[in-house]
A and B are shown apart, each in its own frame.
Chain A
Amino acid sequence: DAGITQSPRHKVTETGTPVTLRCHQTENHRYMYWYRQDPGHGLRLIHYSYGVKDTDKGEVSDGYSVSRSKTEDFLLTLESATSSQTSVYFCAIRAGQNNEQFFGPGTRLTVL
């Protein structure tokens, strides 16, 4: 158990509304990542963070922003949700002997 929680676990929202997903870790790891998982696309990196207030874009960052004001929390925000952002979102931390990534339980987001 890598001590990662995500909230909410499920969310249904409407197009155009803002949405914030939270990732919380209990072990003080420096690197955190946000992915989305869609059928036919696998896991794709949205944004990542390498420390408090230090973030960078991944391969599918358009329409998403992130913030990290504390080591333990990494927030993903959809400023104006669209139907194409319906997906399952996973948070991960970089840890372990070989710096492998460990994943949270995921958030299923539906944008109507």
Chain B
Amino acid sequence: EDQVTQSPEALRLQEGESSSLNCSYTVSGLRGLFWYRQDPGKGPEFLFTLYSAGEEKEKERLKATLTKKESFLHITAPKPEDSATYLCAVQAVGSSNTGKLIFGQGTTLQVKP
């Protein structure tokens, strides 16, 4: 069964304290791995897509990396405005036509000033 597990569930950081969020997945052939950011009361906002092991994507203080079993979202020198829930999702090769995604439960990040 295709599955996505994110850890930790919650993370508290001081402003400027770098850290990483983990997304472990089991899927019958990975078509793509997606990272989203979700602010309270809002819909998820797309951040990155990764397709193959070794791939990296960056956006401001965020960098996403991918291996054959997991993805990491590295947050460098975070600011309070980076506080949000970060969601990871995978698309299996068999779902390429439908675009169906399997989501993890998310990591809620709080960055204190």
Contact = CB atoms under 8 A, between A and B. Distances in A.
Contact of B43 (A42, A44, A96, A104): A104
Contacts of A50: 98
B98 A43 contact: no
A102 B46 contact: yes
B99 A40 contact: no
Interface residues of B, number: 20
Contacts of B98: 31, 48, 50, 56
Chain A at the B interface: SS class: strand
B32 A105 contact: no
A42 B49 contact: no
Interface string A16-47: 00000000000000010100000011111100
Interface residues of A, number: 26
A9 to B, nearest CB: 10
B43 A45 contact: no
A45 B34 contact: no
Interface of B: 32, 34, 36, 41-46, 49, 87, 89, 98-101, 103-106
Given A41-B105, A100-B34, A105-B42, 14 more contacts: A4-B43, A31-B98, A33-B99, A33-B100, A42-B103, A42-B106, A43-B101, A56-B98, A90-B44, A96-B46, A100-B49, A101-B46, A103-B36, A103-B45
